[in-house]
Amino acid sequence: MMFNNKLNDTSQDLVANYPDLKLVVFDIYHPLLNLITKPSDNGNTLLLFDHQ
């Protein structure tokens, strides 16, 4: 999360200093975290281990 915050700050600085710059940054941390912590919110649950 700290990396994402610093990346966001840096990208905003770059865009401010270089108005013609086209910069795209994707936050993959939060979507992946939601898949792990709340799998049922995403339509189905993931069975990682089968304890048979």
pLDDT at 8 over 80: yes
Whether residue 15 contacts residue 27, with contact meaning beta carbons closer than 8 Å, is answered with no
pLDDT > 80? residue 3: yes
Per-residue model confidence (pLDDT) at position 43: 72
With bands split at pLDDT 50, 70 and 90, how would you rate the model's confidence at 5?
confident
Determine the Cα–Cα distance for residues 38 and 22; give it in Å rounded to an integer: 34
